[in-house]
Amino acid sequence: MISRAVLGRTGIEVSRLCFGTLTMSPMQAKLSHQEGARLILRARERGVNFLDAAELYDSYGYIGEALKSDRDMVVAAKSYCYDEKTAQASLEKCLREIGRDWVDLFMLHEQESIHTLRGHEGALTYLNRQKEQGRVRAVGVSTHYAGCVRSAATFGGIDVIFPIVNMEGLGVADGSREDMERAVAFARECGIGMYAMKALGGGHLIPKRREAFRYALSVEGISSVAVGMQRDEEVDYNCDLFEGLEPNEELARRDKRRLLIDFWCEGCGRCARRCGQGAIQVIDGRARVDESKCVLCGYCGSVCPQFCIKVV
C-alpha cells in the first residue's frame, strides 16, 4: 500500500500520492462522473486517500460519485473566492457537489503574494469561522510563487500550502527550484502542511518521471504529490511507483500523450516562434497545434508566459 504522511499541524493523514482531478475533468479528458470515480476508487484500492479538485476544473462531481463508495477520503477543494459572500457560495457549491457536510481542505486558488492574500482576507476569515464549525478541517492556498509560500506561512489562518515543486523549477513564477526549496523549508518550520503540484512540470518531465517523483517526495515538508490521472494505465503505473514497486514500463509506453493548450492562451505567439517543427500557429488569437508535426519535445511550454501548454 502507498504510504501516508501528516499535513503539518493539521493532523490530517494523506497518501503520498494525491489523485489530481484536473486531467479527468471537463477541461481535459471530459470523463463522465462514473468513469472518473471508477479511476479514483481503483487508486483507493492501492491506498490513495487524497483527492485534489477545484471549482475551476468542475471536478467536484467525480469526488461526489467516489465518496458514495468511500466517505473517508481526504478532499482538497479550491476556489477564486475573495470575500465572505464568494467564499460562502463556493463552499456551499463544493459541499453540495461532493455530497458531504464537510470538506477537508479548502484552498484559495492561485495566490501570488502578500498583496493577493490581503485582498482575500474576507474569504480567509469566513473559511476559518467554518473551520470552527467543523465544515472545513483546514484552510489553505495554492501558489506558483516562492514568495507567496513564505508570506502564506506567517499570514495567519492558513494551515496548508499547495506550491509548485519540481526538480527543474519549471513554472516557479518568481525564481528557481532552490528559491522554492528554501520557501518550503521556511513554511515547514512554521508548521504548515504542504503537498506539491506539477512535479512533472506540466508534463515536460514525463520522460524523467521516476526521478521527478523521487525529487518531489524527497523535499522535506512535502507530504504528498498531486498527479493528474485519466486512464487505468496511469493509475497502475503511478501507484506502483509510489508504492516502491517496479512499474511496468509497458504501461507508460501505452500512455498516449498529446499537447494540450489551455483556454487561457492569450495568443502571444512565443510558442510558435520557439517550435522548431513548425507545429504551432496562432489562429483567431489562440495557439493551435498540428499534431502531425508535433514531436512532444515540450520546448514550447517552457516559453509560455501563461503556463498554459502541457503534454498530457
Residues forming the site for ligand SF4 (CB under 6 A): 259, 261, 265-271, 274-275, 277, 279-280, 282, 287, 289, 294-300, 304, 306, 308-309
Q: Which is nearer to ligand SF4, 244 or 285 (CB)?
A: 285
Give the single-character DSSP code of 238.
H
Question: Distance between CA 115 and CA 177 in Å, rounded?
Answer: 23
Q: Which is nearer to ligand SF4, 165 or 259 (CB)?
A: 259
Q: Which is nearer to ligand SF4, 138 or 259 (CB)?
A: 259
Closest contact distance (angstroms) between CB of 59 and ligand SF4 is: 23
Kindly state the cell numbers that stand for 196: 506539491
Closest contact distance (angstroms) between CB of 53 and ligand SF4 is: 25
Q: Which is nearer to ligand SF4, 89 or 295 (CB)?
A: 295
Q: What are the DSSP E strand ranges found in the chain?
A: 4-6, 13-15, 17-20, 50-52, 74-79, 103-111, 136-143, 160-163, 193-196, 222-228, 259-261, 280-283, 286-289, 309-311
Q: Which is nearer to ligand SF4, 64 or 203 (CB)?
A: 203
Closest contact distance (angstroms) between CB of 166 and ligand SF4 is: 18
Helix 209-218 vs helix 232-243: angle between axes, to the nearest 10 degrees? Answer: 50
Closest contact distance (angstroms) between CB of 310 and ligand SF4 is: 10
Question: Distance between CA 239 and CA 241 in Å, rounded?
Answer: 5
Closest contact distance (angstroms) between CB of 255 and ligand SF4 is: 16
Q: Which is nearer to ligand SF4, 76 or 279 (CB)?
A: 279
Parallel, antiparallel or unpaired: strands 13-15 and 17-20 = unpaired
Closest contact distance (angstroms) between CB of 43 and ligand SF4 is: 28
The three-point CA angle 292-298-302 to 5° equals 140
Q: Which residues pair with 282 in a beta bridge?
A: 287
What residue type is 126 in one-letter code?
Answer: Y
